[in-house]
Chain A
Amino acid sequence: MDFPVLSVIVFTPIVAGLLILLFPAERKNEVRVTALAAAAFALILSVWVYFSYDLAAGGYQFVENYNWLPALGISYIVGVDGMNAPLVLLTGVVMLTGVLISWGIDDRPREFFAFLFILASGVFGVFVAQDLFMLFFFYEIAVFPMYLLISIWGWVKTREYAAMKLTLYLFIGSVISLVGALAMYFNSGLNTFNMLELARVGFSKDFQVFWFPFVFFGFAILGGIFPFHNWSPDGHVAAPTAVSMFHAGVLMKLGAFAALRVGIMLLPEGAQTWKWLIMGLATVNVVYGAFIAMVQTDFKYVIGFSSVSHMGLVMLGFSTLTRDGLLGAGIQMFSHGVMTALFFAVVGMVYDRAHTREINELGGFSKKMPWVAVAFIIGGLVSMGMPGLSGFVAEFPIFMGVWQVQPIVAIIAAISIVITASYIIKIIGKVFFGPLSDEFEHHIGDVTALDKVALVTLCVILITLGVYPMVMSPLVASGVQSILSLFGGA
């Protein structure tokens, strides 16, 4: 038996979280160090999995399969392929940087890290799950700690409202998908929740067309699809920094990924029928999200809506059902995850020192925290899709895919790039350059060394992927290949 590396990745955070809960409440530093060690361990293993995935062999690797409830065909099956390997890596990265950035949390850090790690385990679990039941099991685990994390450690003004809104939205989505999943299970007659087997069933066309919207949109709510995106900016803004990073960086991918794996991969004919609707809504996401981001005056809301816009590109990539579109969507999930984690880290660092996020009140921060300014500029360029950075590697194939299917949509969606550029440049100009007010001149200092480590890590990843896309493209392409084979090898 090989080393069960994926299970170790999935359970490291939750075990560490429970261990942390056993510490006495006042041993805050021990709690932080344990959290950091666990996050680093999970990241090292995810990096190892990512780089030792055998491209030549393809398919699912590192598979573990245990019976969970044989009577109903529920199993614990994990495995990675080209689609989810980058996402496992992404979760590891965001988890580690999130811990680094949350070092300063002083109100009950024990509970904070414990809940954050339960969340992380849920996320890892969904990404590697090959069993539909298991996927739901971990999906829900990833949802509920969010409520406590936002409502306890969030921004005082909106946290109660935002936390409840977010949790209810996501829960509604997941239970609606659940009914669809159960319908698939019983309709298949195979008595198994194994997704590989369910994908081979070939449900009748009527069945697929009827259930696809439930399953896809149920999950896509977490992916922030219009008109169900409403929870997301509120949630991002109210959440504490590390949770916003996790949330926008990883959780929204969870929704998109589950919509792909359960919706599109298990009900491909349903996807063919409904793809125009998805494409239309995703286009609204992309353009409308960017417009709304442009008119926000709160720094964090800008980033929140930019996430809505960028996640729209992922959905747009899905809706093309073409090789290029899916490839771009796969890379975009990773690239946007890292980029948005970087953005929220920056916002958190600025807010912690300035105690305001109003763009008009800020200014000149590049003098006080140059590292942060550089990091934000890099993230901003990624967000505009500048060549040489990861955003270009991701967005270019998406637009190519859309162009093949529906050129007009590609043109409309491309407007968002201009709008994105406008709000990013506005923020860079106002917040990081411009005059530094006297109030800030004396009261704020530079960020800590740990913060810098986190920023540098995220930036290096964005640049590496942009300069050398081959570290990810072939991998994702192999994952896309297996999706396309479900559509008759198109």
Chain B
Amino acid sequence: MDVQNFEPSMILAILPEILLLVLAGFVLACDALWPEERKRNLGWLTAGGLALILVVSLLVAVPSLQSRLVFGGMVQQDWLGFAFKLLFIFGAAITAMFAMDHAELGERGEFYVLMLVSVIGMSLMASAGDIVMLYLAVETTSIPLYILAGFMRKDVKSTESGFKYLLFGALTSTVMLYGFSLLFGLTGSTSLYGIEALLAKTGLLPVTMLVGSLMLILVGFSFKVSAVPFHFWAPDVYEGAPTPVAGFLSTASKAAGFAVLLRVLFVVFTPYALDYWPAVLAALAVVTMTLGNLVALTQKNIKRLLAYSSIAHAGYILIGFVSWSILGMTSVVFYLIAYLMTNLAAFGVVTAVSRVTGKDEIASYAGLSRRSPTLALVIMVAFLSLAGMPPLGGFIAKIFVFAAAVQAGYIWLAFIGVINSIFGLYYYLTVLKVVYLYRSEDDNQPLPVSRPYAIALGILSFGIILIGTLFAPWYTWATAAVTSLF
């Protein structure tokens, strides 16, 4: 870092990360100092702290519309990074509330600390301006997540899940690193923006090598966003990992992958974009959503169902990438906002239910509408939003993505997307049928919902409906985030 070029306003570019680190330290200290019986409050502390960081960032650290590189080109201060940081922080705050009453997570300080560290990593991923920084951020995100997935040490499935995630993650990240090294070898620069300038200037670079290196990089991010064929970890990991962690993996972690994909694809490879990328991404999108939806049809376990559904949603989001336009990118960001809220709500209900019943089978949701009408309503809102029904966020998000495809002339892709959403509707409705229609022997035992779940699910349901009805402000922010790329 060039010391002469430092100016205090640069701090604002990483203010959320700094505050997150402070919060992590504070949680760690409280974990050591507080007596056992108060440890559950660490969840409130984490959630409250994250909410505070959200507010402070919104008040102080809003970037100007003019993007700039700071800290020697390591960090790009722009709207894209900022918008995603807020999203990650929000997701983590909700996850902290879901974890509080989880028997094996709630009173463990290290859980909250690890989660906060991975949020720092995600935030840096979203704003990294240099491939070295980017790689470090990816690892900062992933390593705590490997531990979190295997957090329940005495549970065989959880350890399996952690280990599987680690192996897949390590392998794909090595491949990605190889891609980065090729890119550096070709251009002699590690800065994303430096590489862009170089690529724009000279047409002499061998296209095959560039495309090849991007393919390798794509492997790393396909793993993160669980796009086919790098999706195999998702169902097993989601099933075994503690449910709040699975929710976090399927939302914030996935959003982080997409944030980087937006930046890398659009900044570095734009000059070569139109020749190759739409075709590759379209193939990826079609395979991802179709496989995700088809396999989801046969699932018996709700976490595995949500895993395949989240694979399918990665496919829908990729449609936005294919269209390669401002509308397309806006739809990606909008989709991620809606999807984060929706999927968190779905996993939140799963956590709240399995905490009482101890089961994750879809069949164990029978009679839920009698045992807890409120939870039944929330799962209905979440699943219908995933299925793309108004007046919920998922509907608007899907329309924007399909609109982007139609605008760019990919009408066939839009049709594949809508056909896929029919499969989606089928399995979401199947779950709702179990919730509302089927009866169980425990019909008369109310299913208690503790306060953190009530608050978090309330916020999420409200958010899902808000995004689905008053979508103009969200759309404007999403546009602001992506125009900083162009």
Please report the C-alpha to C-alpha distance between residue A137 and residue B471 in the assembled complex, in whole angstroms: 12
Please indicate which of the listed interface residues B377, B380, B472 has the most CB atoms of chain A within 10 Å of its own CB. B472
Please report the C-alpha to C-alpha distance between residue A151 and residue B433 in the assembled complex, in whole angstroms: 7
Please report the C-alpha to C-alpha distance between residue A133 and residue B425 in the assembled complex, in whole angstroms: 20
List residues of A (121-169) whose CB comes within 8 Å of B's CBs: 133, 136-138, 140-141, 143-144, 147-148, 151-152, 160, 163-164, 167-168
User: Which of A180-188, A271-279, A319-327, A473-481 contacts its partner?
Assistant: A180-188
Give which listed residue, A71, A152, A164, A186, contacts B429 with CB less than 8 A. A164
Q: Does A64 contact B (CB under 8 A)?
A: no
- Contact A137 to B390, CB < 8 A, known contacts A147-B429, A164-B426, A179-B411: yes
How far does the Cβ of B451 sit from chain A's closest Cβ, in whole Å? 19
Complex contacts, A163 vs chain B, CB 8 Å: 433
- Contact A69 to B471, CB < 8 A, known contacts A137-B391, A141-B390, A152-B437: yes
Q: Does B445 contact A (CB under 8 A)?
A: no
Give which listed residue, B414, B429, B476, contacts A179 with CB less than 8 A. B414
Q: Does B146 contact A (CB under 8 A)?
A: no
Q: Does B432 contact A (CB under 8 A)?
A: yes
Please report the C-alpha to C-alpha distance between residue A140 and residue B426 in the assembled complex, in whole angstroms: 15
Contact with A along B158-171 (1 / 0, CB 8 A): 00000000000000
Contact with A along B456-486 (1 / 0, CB 8 A): 0000000000000001100110010000000
In the complex, the chain B residue whose C-beta lies closest to that of A167 is B429
Give which listed residue, A72, A147, A151, A179, contacts B415 with CB less than 8 A. A179
Q: Does A227 contact B (CB under 8 A)?
A: no
**A186 contacts B406, CB within 8 Å?**
yes
Complex contacts, B389 vs chain A, CB 8 Å: 140-141, 143-144
In the complex, the chain B residue whose C-beta lies closest to that of A154 is B437
Please report the C-alpha to C-alpha distance between residue A109 and residue B471 in the assembled complex, in whole angstroms: 32
**A68 contacts B418, CB within 8 Å?**
no
- Contact A68 to B429, CB < 8 A, known contacts A21-B377, A151-B436: no
Complex contacts, A175 vs chain B, CB 8 Å: 418-419, 421-422
- Contact A179 to B418, CB < 8 A, known contacts A71-B476, A148-B432: yes
Give which listed residue, A69, A133, A141, A186, contacts B472 with CB less than 8 A. A69
Complex contacts, A176 vs chain B, CB 8 Å: 415, 418
Complex contacts, B414 vs chain A, CB 8 Å: 179, 182
Please report the C-alpha to C-alpha distance between residue A163 and residue B471 in the assembled complex, in whole angstroms: 31
Q: Does A178 contact B (CB under 8 A)?
A: yes
Q: Does B238 contact A (CB under 8 A)?
A: no
In the complex, the chain A residue whose C-beta lies closest to that of B473 is A69
- Contact A182 to B433, CB < 8 A, known contacts A68-B472, A140-B395, A168-B422: no
Complex contacts, B475 vs chain A, CB 8 Å: 69, 71-72
Please report the C-alpha to C-alpha distance between residue A72 and residue B384 in the assembled complex, in whole angstroms: 24
Please report the C-alpha to C-alpha distance between residue A67 and residue B418 in the assembled complex, in whole angstroms: 27
Q: Does A33 contact B (CB under 8 A)?
A: no
Please indicate which of the listed interface residues A68, A69, A168, A176 has the most CB atoms of chain B within 10 Å of its own CB. A69
Q: Does A418 contact B (CB under 8 A)?
A: no
Q: Does A257 contact B (CB under 8 A)?
A: no
In the complex, the chain A residue whose C-beta lies closest to that of B404 is A182
List residues of B (350-402) whose CB comes within 8 Å of A's CBs: 369, 373, 377, 380, 384, 387, 389-391, 395, 399, 402
- Contact A71 to B479, CB < 8 A, known contacts A167-B429, A182-B402: yes
How far does the Cβ of B55 sit from chain A's closest Cβ, in whole Å? 26
**B422 contacts A182, CB within 8 Å?**
no
Please report the C-alpha to C-alpha distance between residue A66 and residue B121 in the assembled complex, in whole angstroms: 42
List residues of B (412-468) whose CB comes within 8 Å of A's CBs: 414-415, 418-419, 421-422, 425-426, 429, 432-433, 436-437
Q: Does B403 contact A (CB under 8 A)?
A: yes
Complex contacts, B429 vs chain A, CB 8 Å: 147, 164, 167
* Number of chain B residues whose Cβ lies closer than 8 Å to a Cβ of chain A: 34
Q: Does B407 contact A (CB under 8 A)?
A: yes
List residues of A (1-48) whose CB comes within 8 Å of B's CBs: 21, 25
Please report the C-alpha to C-alpha distance between residue A287 and residue B389 in the assembled complex, in whole angstroms: 35
How far does the Cβ of B396 sit from chain A's closest Cβ, in whole Å? 8
How far does the Cβ of A210 sit from chain B's closest Cβ, in whole Å? 10
Contact with B along A110-125 (1 / 0, CB 8 A): 0100000000000000
How far does the Cβ of B13 sit from chain A's closest Cβ, in whole Å? 28
Interface range for A: 35 or more
Complex contacts, B377 vs chain A, CB 8 Å: 21
Complex contacts, B432 vs chain A, CB 8 Å: 147-148
Contact with B along A69-86 (1 / 0, CB 8 A): 111100000000000000
How far does the Cβ of A144 sit from chain B's closest Cβ, in whole Å? 5
**B433 contacts A160, CB within 8 Å?**
yes
**A25 contacts B373, CB within 8 Å?**
yes
In the complex, the chain A residue whose C-beta lies closest to that of B389 is A144
**A171 contacts B411, CB within 8 Å?**
no
Please report the C-alpha to C-alpha distance between residue A25 and residue B371 in the assembled complex, in whole angstroms: 12
Please report the C-alpha to C-alpha distance between residue A163 and residue B433 in the assembled complex, in whole angstroms: 10
**B425 contacts A168, CB within 8 Å?**
yes
**B418 contacts A186, CB within 8 Å?**
no
Q: Does A467 contact B (CB under 8 A)?
A: no
**B391 contacts A141, CB within 8 Å?**
yes
- Contact A152 to B399, CB < 8 A, known contacts A21-B377, A71-B479: no
In the complex, the chain A residue whose C-beta lies closest to that of B377 is A21
Q: Does A172 contact B (CB under 8 A)?
A: yes
**A137 contacts B476, CB within 8 Å?**
no
**B399 contacts A178, CB within 8 Å?**
yes
In the complex, the chain A residue whose C-beta lies closest to that of B373 is A25
Please report the C-alpha to C-alpha distance between residue A69 and residue B377 in the assembled complex, in whole angstroms: 28
**A171 contacts B422, CB within 8 Å?**
yes
Please indicate which of the listed interface residues A71, A137, A144 has the most CB atoms of chain B within 10 Å of its own CB. A144
How far does the Cβ of B331 sit from chain A's closest Cβ, in whole Å? 10
Please report the C-alpha to C-alpha distance between residue A171 and residue B387 in the assembled complex, in whole angstroms: 11
How far does the Cβ of B221 sit from chain A's closest Cβ, in whole Å? 28
Complex contacts, B471 vs chain A, CB 8 Å: 68-69
Give which listed residue, A21, A69, A183, contacts B406 with CB less than 8 A. A183
Please report the C-alpha to C-alpha distance between residue A144 and residue B406 in the assembled complex, in whole angstroms: 25
Please report the C-alpha to C-alpha distance between residue A420 and residue B226 in the assembled complex, in whole angstroms: 57
Complex contacts, A141 vs chain B, CB 8 Å: 389-391
**B407 contacts A186, CB within 8 Å?**
yes
Please report the C-alpha to C-alpha distance between residue A168 and residue B429 in the assembled complex, in whole angstroms: 10
Complex contacts, B476 vs chain A, CB 8 Å: 71
How far does the Cβ of B464 sit from chain A's closest Cβ, in whole Å? 14
How far does the Cβ of B365 sit from chain A's closest Cβ, in whole Å? 15
Please report the C-alpha to C-alpha distance between residue A175 and residue B472 in the assembled complex, in whole angstroms: 22
Contact with A along B25-62 (1 / 0, CB 8 A): 00000000000000000000000000000000000000
- Contact A172 to B406, CB < 8 A, known contacts A69-B475, A144-B384, A178-B399: no
Contact with B along A169-202 (1 / 0, CB 8 A): 0011001101100110110000000000000000
Please report the C-alpha to C-alpha distance between residue A108 and residue B432 in the assembled complex, in whole angstroms: 16
In the complex, the chain B residue whose C-beta lies closest to that of A110 is B373
Please report the C-alpha to C-alpha distance between residue A140 and residue B391 in the assembled complex, in whole angstroms: 9
Please report the C-alpha to C-alpha distance between residue A152 and residue B434 in the assembled complex, in whole angstroms: 10
Complex contacts, A133 vs chain B, CB 8 Å: 399
Please report the C-alpha to C-alpha distance between residue A185 and residue B404 in the assembled complex, in whole angstroms: 11
Complex contacts, B402 vs chain A, CB 8 Å: 178-179, 182
**B384 contacts A182, CB within 8 Å?**
no
Complex contacts, A172 vs chain B, CB 8 Å: 422
22 A-B pairs, CB-CB below 8 angstroms? A21-B377, A25-B373, A70-B472, A72-B403, A137-B391, A147-B432, A148-B380, A151-B436, A152-B437, A163-B433, A167-B425, A168-B422, A172-B422, A175-B418, A175-B419, A176-B415, A178-B418, A179-B406, A179-B415, A179-B418, A182-B414, A186-B407
User: Which 4 pairs, one residue from A and one from B, show the smallest C-beta to C-beta distance?
Assistant: A175-B418, A182-B406, A69-B472, A137-B390
B interface list, Cβ under 8 A from A: 369, 373, 377, 380, 384, 387, 389-391, 395, 399, 402-403, 406-407, 411, 414-415, 418-419, 421-422, 425-426, 429, 432-433, 436-437, 471-472, 475-476, 479
Kindly list 14 other residue pairs between chains A and B, CB separation below 8 angstroms, not including A141-B391, A151-B433, A179-B402.
A69-B472, A71-B472, A71-B475, A111-B373, A136-B390, A136-B399, A137-B390, A138-B390, A148-B432, A148-B436, A164-B426, A171-B422, A172-B422, A186-B403
